[in-house]
């Protein structure tokens, strides 16, 4: 299920980025004491009271400015508002209501979306009296906060999660496999989609960034139902000149959240780039099944070891995706395109695999016999038992006498044993270590 999206909007320098960082509990946005620092939207997953959501930090809205950068920031904020499920309007309690605040409030009142008014920089009993002025914006009860001092953030988050829509559902049947096609612009994603569907369902162009939004297509192959999501190409921030392309990145990330399996499309001619690593990393961190599709393979001069060398390079560059199968295709000539859905179905099955606890513990006993657990300062790690807690992705909980002794290298050893015995090809594995006291959690 897609996470609700919360867009933080408001004038420059009212504390939006500080609030964003406090809620996310990490310093993601640049925070400086002058306006205009946050020029691009920044996205981050957050959680409150078991509600997961995606936050968008926007550039400030300067409605009366003719400055090119501020105009672009204003447009970005409007796009974020269009995409958001809840809008968090931040104002400055020290400066009071400004003409710009009133203009933004007028825009927000017409959105027909939940709007929460946060009055920032309210850090003393005296300044709380200034909050009443903001009732004039016609956006309901304002929430006084101090983002810098983390005051009243709990009340604000309560209001946010209470405003989440209840109808965020997926447009797919339960037995369908959702596929997100991701990658940089102009690597051949739309051509691959057309080749898979056997018809021109998506516009194909040599101009990077043609596909603006995620497009869902349902189809059936060999009795299996699929939902194919073609996403706009994601490019580096420094290469984005058209604001709509920034908006399309949000749609692409949301498509990954909705997918069961991700087709990470790479350009065989250009090889793996830094942006490829970032895009693939998001899919990996999201726990999605991943298939690496190396497109434009027809343009490569080959010998009998070309694919082997290319795969070795892929494993070196994308070290965190050692588990992902690699498929060499040409969307233009349809080479191996027919194998894509078979591989997707296989990976989806691997993601949904469950292993009985008794079988897991037999494997655990064999692994410990071959490679005894490490010790630290004279205390040896004792592994009590292991169980599978979830699927998509498979999650395993390992109970031990002292989690602090578990070294990441031994955890990786156990993960490799799981893969050797059961496969789990194409899916990340979540390995969680708990102590004795956590057994009843």
How far apart (Å, rounded) are the C-alpha atoms in residues 38 and 346? Answer: 43
Q: Kindly state whether residues 284 and 241 are assigned to the same domain.
A: yes
Q: Which residue has the higher pLDDT, 433 or 32?
A: 433
Q: Where are the beta strands (DSSP E) in 121-201?
A: 143-144, 177-182
Q: Tokens for 12, please give them.
A: 């420059």
Q: Give yes or no: residues 151 and 247 share one domain.
A: no
169 occurs within a structural domain: no
Q: Is residue 14 part of a domain?
A: yes
Is the same domain home to 182 and 154?
Answer: no
Shared domain for 298 and 388, answered yes or no, is no
Please give the backbone phi and psi of residue 314, each rounded to the nearest 5 degrees, phi first.
-60, -45
The answer to whether 377 and 410 are in contact (CB under 8 A) is no
Give 210-246 pLDDT, tens digit per residue: 554 555 788 888 889 998 886 655 455 454 444 444 4
Question: Are 301 and 324 part of one and the same domain?
Answer: yes
pLDDT mean over 2-19? 85
In a domain, 167, yes or no: no
The larger pLDDT score, comparing residue 333 to residue 9, is at 333
- Band of the pLDDT at 37, cuts 50, 70, 90? very low
Total of domains in the chain: 3
Residue 309, Cβ neighbours under 10 Å: how many?
Answer: 10
Cα end-to-end distance, the chain, whole Å: 25
Residue % of the chain over a pLDDT of 70: 78
Dist. CA 427–CA 277, nearest whole Å: 17
Structure tokens at 281: 């990393």
The more confidently predicted of residues 139 and 69 is: 139
Among 110, 133, 162, where does a domain finish? 162
Residue 133 has pLDDT above 80, yes or no: yes
| CATH number for the domain that contains residue 182 | 3.40.50.300
Whether 168 is in a domain gets the answer: no
Indicate if 338 and 394 belong to the same structural domain.
Answer: no
Asked if the structure places residue 170 within a domain, the reply is no
Distance, CA of 318 to CA of 377 (rounded, Å)? 35
Same domain flag for 85 and 191: no
Average pLDDT value for residue range 157-171: 78
User: According to the model, what pLDDT value does residue 349 have?
Assistant: 96
Q: Is 171 part of any domain?
A: no
pLDDT of residue 276: 86
- Residues 186 and 324 grouped into a single domain: yes
* Among candidate residues 351, 378, 399, the one where a domain is terminated: 351
- Is the full-model pTM beyond 0.75? no
Summarised one tens digit per residue, pLDDT across range 358-390 is: 999 999 999 999 999 988 888 899 999 999 999
The residue among 351, 385, 411 that closes a domain is: 351
Q: Report the CATH number that the domain containing residue 393 is assigned in CATH.
A: 3.30.300.20
pLDDT band, very low/low/confident/very high, at 394 (cuts 50, 70, 90): very high
Q: Are residues 207 and 299 in the same domain?
A: yes
* Same domain? 201 vs 145: no
Contacts of 392 (CB under 8 A, 6+ apart): 260, 287, 351, 352
Q: Which domain holds residue 125?
A: 5-162
Please give the residue that has the higher pLDDT: either 232 or 2.
2
Q: Which helix (H) or strand (E) holds 22?
A: helix 16-24
Domain shared by 383 and 325, yes or no: no
Q: What angle do CA 130, 37, 137 make, to 5 degrees?
A: 30
The percentage of the chain sitting over the pLDDT mark of 90, rounded to a whole number, equals: 49
Examine the domain organization and report whether 216 and 133 are in the same domain.
no
Please indicate, yes or no, if residue 187 is contained in any of the structural domains.
Answer: yes
For residue 390, is it within any domain?
A: yes
């Amino acid at each position: 299920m897609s996470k609700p999206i919360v867009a933080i909007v408001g004038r420059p320098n009212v504390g939006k980025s500080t609030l964003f960082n406090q809620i996310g509990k990490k310093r993601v946005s640049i925070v400086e004491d002058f306006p205009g620092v946050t020029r691009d939207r920044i996205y981050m997953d957050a959680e409150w009271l078991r509600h997961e959501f995606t936050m968008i930090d926007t550039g400030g809205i300067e409605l009366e400015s003719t400055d090119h950068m501020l105009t672009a920031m204003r447009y970005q904020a409007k796009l974020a508002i269009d995409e958001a499920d809840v809008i968090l309007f931040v104002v400055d309690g020290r400066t009071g209501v400004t003409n710009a605040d009133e203009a933004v409030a007028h825009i927000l009142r017409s959105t027909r979306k939940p709007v929460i008014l946060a009055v920032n920089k309210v850090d003393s009993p005296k300044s709380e009296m200034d909050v009443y002025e903001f009732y004039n914006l016609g956006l309901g009860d304002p929430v006084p906060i101090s983002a810098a001092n983390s005051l009243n953030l709990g009340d604000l988050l309560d209001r946010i999660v209470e405003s989440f829509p209840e109808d965020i559902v997926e447009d797919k049947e339960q037995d369908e496999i959702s596929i997100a096609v991701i990658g940089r612009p102009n690597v051949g994603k739309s051509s691959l989609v057309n080749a898979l569907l056997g018809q021109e369902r998506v516009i194909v162009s040599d101009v990077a960034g043609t596909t603006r939004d995620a497009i869902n297509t349902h189809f059936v192959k060999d009795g299996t139902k699929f939902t194919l999501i073609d996403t706009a190409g994601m490019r580096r921030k420094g290469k984005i000149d058209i604001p709509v392309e920034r908006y399309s990145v949000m749609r692409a990330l949301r498509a990954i959240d909705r997918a069961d399996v991700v087709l990470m499309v790479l350009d065989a001619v250009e090889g793996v780039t830094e942006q490829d690593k970032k895009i693939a990393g998001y899919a990996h961190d999201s726990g999605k099944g991943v298939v690496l599709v190396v497109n434009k393979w027809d343009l490569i001069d080959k010998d009998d070891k070309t694919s082997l060398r290319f795969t070795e390079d892929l494993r070196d560059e994308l070290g965190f995706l050692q588990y992902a199968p690699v498929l060499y295709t040409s969307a233009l000539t349809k080479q191996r395109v027919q194998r894509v859905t078979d591989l997707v179905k296989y990976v989806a099955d691997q993601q949904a695999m469950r292993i009985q606890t008794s079988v897991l513990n037999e494997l655990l006993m064999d692994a410990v016999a071959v490679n005894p657990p490490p010790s630290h300062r004279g205390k040896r790690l004792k592994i009590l038992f292991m169980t599978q807690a979830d699927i998509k992705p498979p999650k395993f909980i390992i109970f031990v006498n002292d989690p602090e002794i578990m070294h990441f290298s031994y955890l990786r050893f156990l993960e490799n044993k799981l893969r050797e015995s059961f496969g789990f090809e194409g899916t990340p594995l979540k390995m969680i270590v708990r102590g004795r006291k956590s057994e009843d959690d």
